Amino acid sequence: MKKILNVGSLNIDYVYQVPHFVQPGETLSSTGYARHPGGKGLNQSIALARAGAVVHHVGHVGADGAWLVDFLKSEGAGTSHLTEVDGPTGHAIIQVNAEGQNCILIEGGANRSVTVADAAKAVEALGFVAGDYMLLQNETSAVRELIALGAERGLKVVFNPAPMDKSIREIDLRAVEVLVVNEVEAAELVGAASYDDYEALLAMLKQSFPTTSVLLTLGSRGSVYSGVDGIHHFEPAQKVVAVDTTAAGDTFIGYFLAKLAAGATIPEAMQLATRASAICVSKAGAAPSIPMLRDVQS
């Protein structure tokens, strides 16, 4: 089994249940509140660990985020290269409406102080070799340098460029092994006017990044993978009632990559990831909603 180095964000999620998303000028009372461990990086490490992968997390927290490190460690993720720094831990304000959709405001906090040296030190100390994986999101600093480091060391870089912003256009995505995007992110990345036609989006992505495999998530329509061995489209096996979609994409990525690292085929990895994300959206919360492997298999 290949090892996975996740250089990713760690956030404290403040989740508010609301009848609808707050509108400009509106004051709205929430119908529920909870605090959860979160951040795309942390969520993906939890999904990887619960899926049985060997994952080590590199990242920064403030003193207020020490409990996030304890949580990751209790789940089986490697935490020896998580560093406490001055200042607040990253956090997110999450609104979840009556339909289970979410609206998220992120403050980067300590995630903005991650450096390429943090990752380089972990690669050496933990014995990562060519063919192992490096997983990245767009919630930390130094993303461009981290992608370059992974490519230089022969690691397979899997990049989830969320949240999308203009900095992504400054990154050489040809160094990425697998690019994971949803429809909206894909359209923004290639400058498409619409995200309704996923086949057109895939064609535009492959034209822009011909050596990069693309995993495009399509929400309730499933997912599609375009790589050197062709295109694989996997639709959900069953419909579920969405309670909270916050960690659906992170769950999908974690389970997909865990299966790949264990030597599975692309369709096998997509099937497991699809089932895991379906379970995830049926529960409230981000990290707490990510299922265990035994529950996905059953």
Residue 218 CA to residue 224 CA, distance in Å, equals 8
Q: Take residue 231 and report the two structure tokens written for it.
A: 């295109």
Reply yes or no on whether 118 is catalytic: no
* Torsion angle of the four alpha carbons 114, 167, 160, 7, in this order, in degrees rounded to the nearest 10: -10
Catalytic residue among 13, 132, 244, 250: 250
Residue 85 CA to residue 66 CA, distance in Å, equals 11
Neighbours of 237 (CB within 10 A): 10
Residue 121 CA to residue 273 CA, distance in Å, equals 31
Q: How far is CA 105 from the centre of its chain?
A: 16
DSSP-based three-state secondary structure for 56: strand
Q: Are 84 and 62 in contact (CB under 8 A)?
A: yes
DSSP state of 139: S
Residue 19 CA to residue 182 CA, distance in Å, equals 25
Where do we find the tokens 């060391």?
153
Classify the C-alpha dihedral 246-197-234-174 as positive or negative. Answer: negative
Q: Take residue 25 and report the two structure tokens written for it.
A: 């000028």
Cα–Cα distances in angstroms (integers) from residue 32 to residues 94, 102, 105, 187, 280, in the given order: 12, 14, 18, 34, 19
E strand or H helix at 161? none
Residues classed as catalytic:
250
